[in-house]
Structures are given as structure tokens and as C-alpha cells.
Amino acid sequence: MLEPAELERRIRAALPGAQVEVRDLTGTGDHFEARVAAPGFEGLGMLDQHQAVYGPLRDLLDSGSLHALALKTYTLEQWKRLPGRARNPP
């Protein structure tokens, strides 16, 4: 059983300066939703942005302990304009 905080910690460690929000969709610790914005995402396609987030979670995805991850990625500019989005302090 995974905690959202553990996924957030891994993503932040791999993407310094990232804004990360992870939510447990089912309360069962294996289906999550993540929204991630990172400094390096500017100029990257969606494929590469998603790969950058999957990277630090790959062992969890491969083992099946992370069964599903609905993922949305943003540049920091796009993130700022998201309505109602909580912001980590800079």
C-alpha cells in the first residue's frame, strides 16, 4: 500500500523544483492521480514529460504495487494559470 506523500517525495527528488500533487483515487493505495509541473518541462513534448514522471516510479509500476497512475503534466507557466491549484511556496 502506497501513500501519496511517498510518490510526491520520489517525483520531487527526481525533478528538483517541481510542483507535485498526488491523490489516492480509490483509497486503496494503488490507484493514483498525479499533477506535475517541473522547470525542465518547458519545450518538452507530453511523451517526454510523462516519461520524466514515470522514471522515479518505474519499479513501483513494474512490480504492480502502483497499479494505475492518471497523470497530467504542465510547464510551470501553465501551472501558475491553473484555476484553484494549490501552490507550494517557491
Partner 1 sequence: MTPDLKTRIEREIQSHPVVVFMKGNPLFPRCGFSAAAVQMLQAYGPVHGIDVLAEPEMREGIKEFTRWPTIPQVFIRGRFVGGSDIVRELEERGELKALLAG
- Could you list the residues that contact partner 1 (CB under 8 A)? 46-47, 50-51, 54, 57-58, 61-62, 68-72
Q: What are phi and psi of 75, to 5 degrees?
A: -80, 165
**Least Å distance between CB 54 and partner 1?**
5
**Least Å distance between CB 87 and partner 1?**
22
Query: Of the two residues 51 and 88, which places its CB atom closer to partner 1 in the complex?
Result: 51
Are the CB atoms for 6 and 43 separated by under 8 Å?
no
Greatest pairwise CA separation for the chain in angstroms = 36
Query: Of the two residues 19 and 49, which places its CB atom closer to partner 1 in the complex?
Result: 49
**Least Å distance between CB 28 and partner 1?**
14
Name beta bridge partners: 21.
35
CA 25 and chain centroid, separation: 14
